[in-house]
Amino acid sequence: MTDYTPLHLDWPGCLNVRDLGGLPLTGGGTIRERALVRSDSPSFLTDDGVAAATAFRLARIIDLRRPWENEEWPSLLADHPGYLSLPVQDPDDPEEGPWVHLYTGLLDRRPDLFARAVAALADAPEGPVLVHCVAGKDRTGLVVALALSIVGADVDALADDYELTNERLAPRYAELPEDREIPAGREIPPTRHVIIEALEHLRTRHGSIEAYLTHGGLTPGHVRALRARLVG
């Protein structure tokens, strides 16, 4: 655990919005404020929430949801000029097993899609970039962790931030029916070890997070732009 304190943003309707500014780097320094924001889906926003998100002056919105999710729960920020729909799954991709298997499966199948999402963060216009999926936990957690790892984020701080989502979304989960179908191995919300093990899987298989993303199409220019954008 670290002393990192997240910057929670009040966008009514969404429960899991935070600015990652202040997250420490391994060699000193921090992630820049108003550079990278993660959230649950803007489809949850109230009118006041849309106003708050708009007032934040987002430069780009990266929606990681699949097309059918966009159709069923349209983003209330989809008319933003910086909105991009960049799924990290193909429609027929499975979602197998326990949490770590889910994450490593997603990463192994679609390095090109994850690299595309990180590149969209790197080359966005000047200003805050929002990354989201539905809960802002799994797909968002992976893309954010990849981007933060590239710029040297402290692993413990990164994992602490990842685990905060469970706390933020607890009120919404408490309202779900008790008999809802839960995939095997996912009965307990994922803890910080899940994102740590997923990143370690990539380092073991590819040598580094940067090498994994390079395999997917990320360029050295993207890496430089990402560091310039995120490192305060």
Average pLDDT, the chain: 94
* Percent of the chain's residues with pLDDT above 90: 84
| Token pair belonging to 218 | 């990320």
pLDDT band at residue 173 using 50, 70 and 90 as cut-offs? confident
Mean pLDDT within 177-201: 82
* Percent of the chain's residues with pLDDT above 70: 94
- What distance in Å separates the CA atoms of residue 27 and residue 12, rounded to the nearest whole number? 36
- The more confidently predicted of residues 67 and 175 is 67
Q: Write down the pLDDT at residue 146.
A: 98
Environment class of residue 12 by beta-carbon count within 10 Å: exposed (0-12), middle (13-18) or buried (19+)?
middle
Q: Write down the pLDDT at residue 210.
A: 98
pLDDT at 181 over 80: no
Q: Write down the pLDDT at residue 214.
A: 98
Q: Write down the pLDDT at residue 92.
A: 87
pLDDT band at residue 176 using 50, 70 and 90 as cut-offs? low
- What distance in Å separates the CA atoms of residue 209 and residue 151, rounded to the nearest whole number? 10
| DSSP-assigned states of every residue in 149-202 | HHTTB-HHHHHHHHHHHHHHHHHHHHTS-TT----TT-SSPP-HHHHHHHHHHH
pLDDT at 41 over 70: yes
Mean pLDDT within 43-58: 98
Q: Write down the pLDDT at residue 175.
A: 76
Kindly report the pTM of this predicted structure.
0.95
pLDDT digits (tens, 9 = 90+) for 66-108: 999 999 999 999 999 999 999 999 988 988 878 999 999 999 9
CA distance to 50, 56, 72, per residue, from 139 (Å): 22, 23, 18
Q: Write down the pLDDT at residue 111.
A: 98
In DSSP terms, 63 is beta-bridged to 85, 132
pLDDT digits (tens, 9 = 90+) for 120-157: 999 999 999 999 999 999 999 999 999 999 999 999 99
| DSSP-assigned states of every residue in 81-93 | TTEEE--SS-TT-
Q: What DSSP designation does 203 have?
A: H
Mean pLDDT within 174-197: 78
Mean pLDDT within 166-194: 79
Q: 21-35, 123-137, 146-160, 169-183: lowest mean pLDDT where?
A: 169-183
